[in-house]
Amino acid sequence: MCGSIAVGIYILVRAVDRFVANYNSFPGEFDSAMDEDIPRLKSTAIGLLSDLGCNGATLAEDLINEMCRFGAAELHAVAALVGGIASQEVIKACCLSSFT
């Protein structure tokens, strides 16, 4: 089992890159293929862990299921961060144009 959730997510993000390279789609991108994608992503992640020298390490099933559940969507935290930065830039642009 990987030590922390952050490490598990990092491994899964790298495993998703390999998954896309191997299967030409994101895991969970299509609802009809969800049942096939979960074991594929799991085996891809275990292969990545083996390549990194972490033989015998596993990932939490709920992390793998969650990674497949949102398919090709953005990670929630990343989307919130990008949205916050974009809104600050819009406010800054609006405020600077009214003062010049």
Cα–Cα distance between 3 and 34 in angstroms, integer? Answer: 27
Per residue in 35-53, pLDDT tens?
898 999 999 999 998 888 8
Cα–Cα distance between 12 and 56 in angstroms, integer? Answer: 16
Give the start-to-end residue ranges of the domains of the chain.
1-69, 74-100
3-state secondary structure of 98: helix
| pTM (2 d.p.) | 0.67
Per residue in 45-87, pLDDT tens?
999 988 888 877 778 888 888 888 877 776 677 778 889 999 9
pLDDT at 3: 56
